[in-house]
Structures are given as C-alpha cells and as structure tokens.
Amino acid sequence: MSAKPIKLVGAAVLAVAGAAGSFTLTTVVMDQMPDALLIGVTTLLAALVVVTIRAAGLGRFLQATPPRDLIIAALGGAAAFWVAPLVVLSQRASDAPSGSEVLFFTTAMWGPIAVAVAVVVLQERPAWAGFAGAALAVAGAAALLANWERPSSFSPFAKFPEQEIVMLGAGAVFALGSAAILMVARKHDNRLVAAVAAGGAGLLSAVVAVFSLGDYGQTIVRLSTELILLGVSQAAFIGGWTSLTHERGLLRSSSVLLSIPAVMTTLFVVERVTGIFGPIPFQIPAVVAGALVCLAGAVSVWIAGTGTAAPAATSGRLAEVAGFLAWLGLAGAAVALFRPALSAAAQGVLGDGFSATWVMVGAESAAGWILFAAALALLAAVRTRRMGSPSATWVSLLVAALVALAASPMLIDTTLHTWNQWVPAAVQQTYGTEYARFSVEALVDPVWIGSAVLVVLSAVLLLSSVLIDRRRAARPELEETQ
Amino acid sequence: MRRLISATTVLALALVLFGGAGCAPQVEVRTGTKVVCTYGEVISDGIHTVKVPAQDAGKYKVRTITRLCPRHAQLESLYQAAQQALAAGDMAAAKKALEQVVAIDPAFAKAAAQLDTIAGGGKPAPDTSSPGGSAATTSTPDKPGDADTGSPAESLLVWAPDKISGFTASRPTVDPLTIARQYVPASGSDAVSFVIAVEQFPSAKLANSGLTAQVKRVYSRDSDTFKLNGHDVYFGTDGQRYGALGFVDGAVMVVLEMSGKSGEPPSGLKSALKAAANQLP
C-alpha cells in the first residue's frame, strides 16, 4: 500500500484505457472469427507482452516459488483474463445485446461483484463503504447509458436476460480469478506473479485457439492490426489491474471497473464534438448527470478505508438522529422503487397500429435507483464515521450522496428499460422513426420526494455532528463543565 | 457467513428489482377501427381505450382503413367530367359539372376559379393533375393549428399536400393526432427519400417541446434557424445522411425529413427542404 500516488494513478489509467480499448476493439472484430480463436489469439498476444516486459527474474521465480502458488496464479489469470472475456463474447451477437448493455454488464456491474468477492473472500474492509459506493456508481452508470440515445436500446434484463446473467457470472469468474492472483501476489513479487497469471491465461488460450483455427489463418492475417491492438489493450489492462489490486486491494480497485462507462462516454463525447465517427444522439445534460453520479460513487470506493483511522464519533444524539433519518430515507427510497414513477406511452402506425400507455415504477427509473443508492451511501457515511473510519471514507460517501441527489432532477424522466416483452416487436424496432414512438414522462411521487428530503436532512445532521465534535475537541474544558 | 448472506441478498434484491422491471403492469391500450377518407376526413371512428393486463396488450390493434368517401368520390367524378368537357371544348357541360362541384363543396377553390373564368367569358385550361390536388384542400380550416382536435387528421393534411414540386406523394398514414406522408423524389433530385410528419399537440408549448426533442436534438448538426412563410424554422442534419426542417404552427409540429445520396453531406439538403417547405401554408 506504499506505492506513490503517481504510480497508482498510472496503473488505474492503464487499466481503464486497456478495458476501454479491449471493449471497443472486440466490438470491431468479434464477428470475423470464432470466439475461442479471437480471445485465444489476443490473450496469447497480451500474455507475450506482459511476460516479455516482466521477464527479468522470472526463471528464478518459477524455480523458487511453491508450485501450488504458481498454479493458483496461473489458473487465476486464466479465469480472469481468458475465461471471463470468452464467456462474455460467447453471449454477444453483432448488436445483441446492445453495446450499452454489454458495457454495463461487463464493467460497472462487475464492480459490486468484485467488491463482494473482496469482502467475502479476501476479508477487505470497509464493506459498507464499498457496497454503497458501488451501488451509487452502478446507478449512475445505468442512468448515463440509458441516455446515450432516446429511445434507448439500454434495457437490462428485458430483452436478453439469460445472456446478461451469464455476463454477470463471467464477472464473478473475473473477480475470483483476480482474488486468486492477489492472494499469491501478497506472498511473492507482484510483478512476477502477474507475469505467471498472464502466462497461464496465454498458455490455456493458445491450446484452445489451436482447435478453433480451422481455415481462419487468412482472417488472422487480414485483421492482424486490430488483433495486435486488442492484445496490447488486454496487456495494458492485465498490467494495470494486477498492479492496482496489489497496491489498493480488490475492493478499492473495483472503482476502475465502475468508472469505465463514464470514461468511455467522455471519449464518445470527444468523438461527437470532433465529428470523427459522426454524431451520437447523447442526451448531454442527463449523460453528464449520470456520469457525475457514476464517478462520485467510483471515487468513494477508491478512497474507502484509506487514510488514518479516526476516533469513533462522540456527538451521540445528533449522529444517532442522522443515522435514523438515513435509515428512514433508505426505507422510503426502497418503497419508492415500487411506486409509480413514470408514465410511458408507445405508439406504432405500421401495419395494424398499436397504442398503449402505462405506468412504470421507481425500479424502472434511473432516479429511483439513484435515490436508493444515495440513501445507502449516506447511511454508510453515518456508520463508517461512527465506527471511526478515516474521515476521507465517510466524507467521500457524503459528497457522493449529495452529488447524486443534486443530479437526480436531470434524470427524473430516464427509464431503465425501453424494451417491453409485451409491446409488439414490430413497434419497438421502429421506435424513433416516423412509424413508432416511445415516450416517458416523470410522475410526482411524494414518497420519492420525502425520502430525498430525509437523506438531505440526514446529511445536514451528520455535518452538524462533525462540527460539534470538532468544537468539543478544540475546547475539551467545555465538555468537563457540562 | 453473515456477510455472504448480506451480499447475496443485496444482489438478489437488485436482480429481482431490475428483472421485475419487465413484469407486466396494467396497460391502457387503444383498440378498434377507424375509417378515414383518402382526403383525411374521418368517416367513422370506433377506437376506444381499454385497460388490460400488459401481456395481452399486443392483441389490441388500432386499425386505420383509408377509403374514398362517397362525397369525395362524387366530387372527383364531377370534377373529372368537367375537365374532360373543358378538354373537349364543351363549355356548357363543363360549367354544369363545375357548378355541381361547387354546390357540394363551396370551398373547392380550383372548381370555383374555373367557373369564374367561364363566367367571365374565358376558357380555362383543363386541370391535368389528380383531382385530389384540389379536393384535399376543400375542407381545411384557415389555421390548422387552431383546428378542432376532435378530427384533427383532416386539418393536419394541409401540411402534407398532394402536390409538392419535384415529388410524387404517396397516400398519407393518418392517425387521430399524426399524419406521415412519404414523397417519392423525381429522378435527378438531391433527395433519396422525403417524408413529412405532422403532429397535433395539446398546446403550442408542448409542440415546441416536441420540436426540441424530436428534431433539434436528433438533427443537431449543421443547425440553422430562419423565417419561412411566417414560421420560425429550424434546420439540422444528423451529420451522415439525413436532414430535417421543422417548425411549429400553433399546437401543430411539422417536420420535413429528407435523406440524401450516400457520401454526400446532408447539409446540401437544406435548399431542397426549404423549397419543399415553401410550398406549405
């Protein structure tokens, strides 16, 4: 944990850039050859890059390290860097699930899974801060991805639920593989453990790829530039991710996964502004709001538990009331998830026309989940402060919750799924054209508003209790006289 | 173990809530059949709203049947006869047929104009265009945006006329509050496809919101605003192939969408769209 900040930031940037590059390049070449061959070739290339860079001392390390540790690292690498991407790719067709859904289920949603594995398997703490920050980041990511376009193709668990659940399973494989590598890295030289992990992934992927080669030799040659770039992207991710998990632990490193949708969106905005690949009809204010929530949650996970532990809070009654209000806010937000939040309408004019209006509940809206996650974050802030966690932990959670609440009005009419099983497919496929339309309008829910007010009140009381504690600490004689 | 259970519970809750989002609520669907005259008048409207379980919603359809109503069929026939008589030089027969047309529909502008010419001793040229070109304008109110929303389709049709220079009109797709009409470009045109979509909103404010959401945000490139026929008109493209021009008249939003040839910048469609919009009221 003693790495310099610049090194940590460098590893984080490498991991994010590697993941973003891998996602983009995989989308470019995925339909051109069998999944096992594509992932096999690129994982082998990535392994070659990592092993080459970290070759110094590798021979001695292999001889001196217990075989059990080497096998765990190699299998962990194979799971995280070969099996997980292969499973994901096996669930993707050219445009189904949509790019926004795949990005969501293979980056942001892997964040809480990594946090869960870090808490359960590696016993990393603080669990509350990790889960709350991850929840906020996931809610923000969903909100921003649902605003990449309108009508949005982002409809998690609506059109391709099986594929998306399998992608979550791949996330568990990735997190468990990362945990295995980390456990070995904590006992040995991390750089060389990472090389063994990459080597394990490369070796197994190469063996399987040979059986998928068939007559795709020419295709590999034709796509050599893309495949090399993809291999380098994967190598960057492996290098950055293994360094980061070693220095910051798996829980805090999951912030990298959580932030990828926001980072990729930023790249797309740059692309839109420069007009390199043409426009994407982003809903800019909503996307910015979603990205802020996503990044605020990711930052709180990145910071969680770092710094010097503080003495437990003493301003008893005020902090208790803050905690009580936060619980009430969370309960209200949970209730709001089941209450009417949006009025939706779908209309199609092709063939036999279709026209329907219905009500969507809070669980189908971005604002519903953002309020829930904000209340959770505030509750985590109250709890972590009471338990004497470093101030950066609860301050970042408090700030993230307030950022989320401030951003939620921009996301009040964002639905988390446009696709419905029961609306005729012919209508849904022509949404956004002159033949069909889908629209949503926010409904006023007093429970949502009341819960948001409770969360804000809780935040105010938490800050007040901090000020009182500081005043008491500065004037201990007052304590004695009272 | 306790933490494992907590983590699993949180994940399960998220899955249930996210997954439950697809669960079927009660849905209000519109169903029934509406018969609309080719010229936009609603002949009969049997469409009503029912509340049904969502999984059954797909069974309910809104059928719109377009057919020529007897009144317009008679007008077409009489007007056609008048034009044939004019072509044959039979002024008396032409005058008689035109008088019958105007008696049935005093707002039939072309027939009235031909009658005036005959009454003044002149010999009007026969109208060789489709009779719809005249008849469609017979029953449109002066200000479409202020039209009675009880049967707005006929009032909206004025924004998607039968004739736009350089294009051949298809039959409009008519709905109570919207009309969409495709136009086939003449050979040599810059346009590959051309559609006029007209939508009636409850208020001018909502129509302006609709223009922002459906036109300004979607066609945000090469944007320009200018005055045309007294309207504040917005022009924009998607930066690839499509260009659109939109404006609001009262509570009505009118959108002209055009696609150009592949590889050509859509900003070049601006003049064609302006020319088309210039032929609207």
A219-263 tens-digit pLDDT: 899 999 999 999 999 999 999 999 999 999 999 999 999 999 999
Are residues B247 and B187 both part of a single domain?
yes
**pLDDT at residue A456 above 70?**
yes
- Are the beta carbons of A297 and A399 closer than 8 angstroms? no
B164 Cβ neighbours under 8 A, 6+ residues apart: B183, B276, B279
Mean pLDDT of A329-344: 95
Best of B27, B56, B59, B206 to mutate (most A CBs within 10 Å, chain A): B27
CB contacts of B23 in chain A (<8 Å) are none
Average pLDDT, chain B: 79
* Lowest-pLDDT choice from A141-145, A287-291, B150-154: B150-154
Q: What percent of chain A has pLDDT over 70?
A: 94
pLDDT at A1: 45
Are residues B161 and B252 both part of a single domain?
yes
The model's pLDDT over B107-125, given as tens digits with 9 standing for 90+, comes to 788 888 899 999 988 888 8
Judge whether A285 is closer than 8 Å to chain B, CB to CB: no
Considering only residues 224 to 243 of chain B, which have any Cβ-Cβ distance to chain A shorter than 8 Å? 238-240
pLDDT at A235: 96
Mean pLDDT of A440-449: 95
Considering only residues 396 to 425 of chain A, which have any Cβ-Cβ distance to chain B shorter than 8 Å? 416-417, 420-424
Residue A127 is nearest to which of B3, B175, B221, comparing CB atoms?
Answer: B3
**pLDDT at residue A283 above 90?**
no
Q: Decide if A354 and B7 are in contact by the 8 Å CB cutoff.
A: no
Judge whether B26 is closer than 8 Å to chain A, CB to CB: yes
CA distances from B170 to A417, A459, B161, B183 (A): 35, 61, 10, 6
Judge whether B205 is closer than 8 Å to chain A, CB to CB: no
- Label each residue of chain A as H, E or C: CCCCHHHHHHHHHHHHHHHHHHHHHHHHHCCCCCHHHHHHHHHHHHHHHHHHHCCCCHHHHHHHCCHHHHHHHHHHHHHHHHHHHHHHHHCCCCCCCCHHHHHHHHHHCHHHHHHHHHHHCCCCCCHHHHHHHHHHHHHHHHHHHCCCCCCCCCCCCCCCHHHHHHHHHHHHHHHHHHHHHHHHHCCCCHHHHHHHHHHHHHHHHHHHHHHHCCCCHHHHHHCHHHHHHHHHHHHHHHHHHHHHHHHHHHHHHHHHHHHHHHHHHHHHHHHHHHCCCCCCCCCHHHHHHHHHHHHHHHHHHHHCCCCCCCCCCCCHHHHHHHHHHHHHHHHHHHHHCCCEEEEEEEEECCCCEEEEEEEEEHHHEHHHHHHHHHHHHHHHHHHHHHCCCCHHHHHHHHHHHHHHHHHHHHHCCCECCCCCCCCCHHHHCCECECCEEEEEEECCCHHHHHHHHHHHHHHHHHHHHHHHHHHHHHCHHHHHHC
Are residues B197 and B250 both part of a single domain?
yes
CA distance A122 to chain B (A): 12
User: Which residue of A lies nearest to B196 if distances are taken between CA atoms?
Assistant: A434
- Distance, in Å, from the CA atom of A200 to the CA atom of A50, rounded to the nearest integer, reads 11
The residue ranking higher by pLDDT, A416 or B4, is A416
Q: Is residue B9 part of a domain?
A: no
Query: Per the structure, how many domains does chain B have?
Result: 3
Q: Is residue B8 part of a domain?
A: no
pLDDT at B15: 56
Which pLDDT band, with edges at 50, 70 and 90, does B5 fall under? low
**pLDDT at residue A55 above 70?**
yes
Highest averaged pLDDT of the listed ranges A300-314, B150-164, B193-207: B193-207
Cα four-point dihedral sign A87, A88, A89, A94? positive
pLDDT at A457: 96
pLDDT at A95: 72
Are residues B112 and B85 both part of a single domain?
yes
- Are the beta carbons of A456 and A465 closer than 8 angstroms? no
A221 Cβ neighbours under 8 A, 6+ residues apart: none
Cα four-point dihedral sign A421, A425, A427, A429? positive
Q: Decide if A364 and B21 are in contact by the 8 Å CB cutoff.
A: yes
Residue entry with tokens 């399960």: B12
Considering only residues 421 to 450 of chain A, which have any Cβ-Cβ distance to chain B shorter than 8 Å? 421-424, 432, 434-435
Highest averaged pLDDT of the listed ranges A302-316, B50-64, B151-165: B50-64
CB contacts of B62 in chain A (<8 Å) are 352-355
Q: Is residue B190 part of a domain?
A: yes
Pairing state between β B252-260 and B191-200 = antiparallel
- Check which CATH number belongs to the domain holding B247 and give it: 3.40.1000
Which pLDDT band, with edges at 50, 70 and 90, does A482 fall under? very low
Mean pLDDT of A137-163: 92
User: Which residue of A lies nearest to B21 if distances are taken between CA atoms?
Assistant: A364
Q: What are phi and psi of A298, to 5 degrees?
A: -65, -40
Q: Where are the domains of chain A?
A: 308-482
Mean pLDDT of B196-210: 86
pLDDT at B138: 35
CB contacts of B22 in chain A (<8 Å) are 157-158, 161, 417, 420-421
Judge whether A127 is closer than 8 Å to chain B, CB to CB: yes
**pLDDT at residue B132 above 60?**
no
Residue A278 is nearest to which of B29, B218, B240, comparing CB atoms?
Answer: B240
CA distance A302 to chain B (A): 19
Q: Decide if A354 and B61 are in contact by the 8 Å CB cutoff.
A: yes
Burial class (CB in 10 A: 0-12, 13-18, 19+), B206: middle
Q: Decide if B175 and A349 are in contact by the 8 Å CB cutoff.
A: yes
Q: Is residue B108 part of a domain?
A: yes
Judge whether A280 is closer than 8 Å to chain B, CB to CB: no
Considering only residues 86 to 125 of chain B, which have any Cβ-Cβ distance to chain A shorter than 8 Å? none
User: Which residue type is seen at A390?
Assistant: P
Q: Decide if B11 and A116 are in contact by the 8 Å CB cutoff.
A: yes
Residue B58 is nearest to which of A150, A358, A423, comparing CB atoms?
Answer: A423
CB contacts of A150 in chain B (<8 Å) are 213, 217
Pairing state between β B62-67 and B26-37 = parallel
Structural domain harbouring B42? 27-67
pLDDT at B137: 37
Are residues B57 and B94 both part of a single domain?
no
Residue B58 is nearest to which of A165, A360, A422, comparing CB atoms?
Answer: A422
Q: Decide if A360 and B25 are in contact by the 8 Å CB cutoff.
A: yes
Q: Is residue B112 part of a domain?
A: yes
Mean pLDDT of A65-73: 95
**pLDDT at residue B60 above 60?**
yes
3-state SS class at B27: strand
The residue ranking higher by pLDDT, B15 or A300, is A300
Best of A168, A330, A355 to mutate (most B CBs within 10 Å, chain B): A355
Mean pLDDT of A274-283: 65
Domain boundary among B67, B97, B122: B67
Considering only residues 312 to 371 of chain A, which have any Cβ-Cβ distance to chain B shorter than 8 Å? 337, 347, 349, 352-361, 363-364
- Are the beta carbons of A399 and A165 closer than 8 angstroms? no
The residue ranking higher by pLDDT, A452 or A151, is A452
**pLDDT at residue B33 above 70?**
yes
User: Which residue type is seen at A141?
Assistant: A
Which pLDDT band, with edges at 50, 70 and 90, does A159 fall under? confident
Residue B22 is nearest to which of A135, A158, A424, comparing CB atoms?
Answer: A158
Are residues B158 and B251 both part of a single domain?
yes
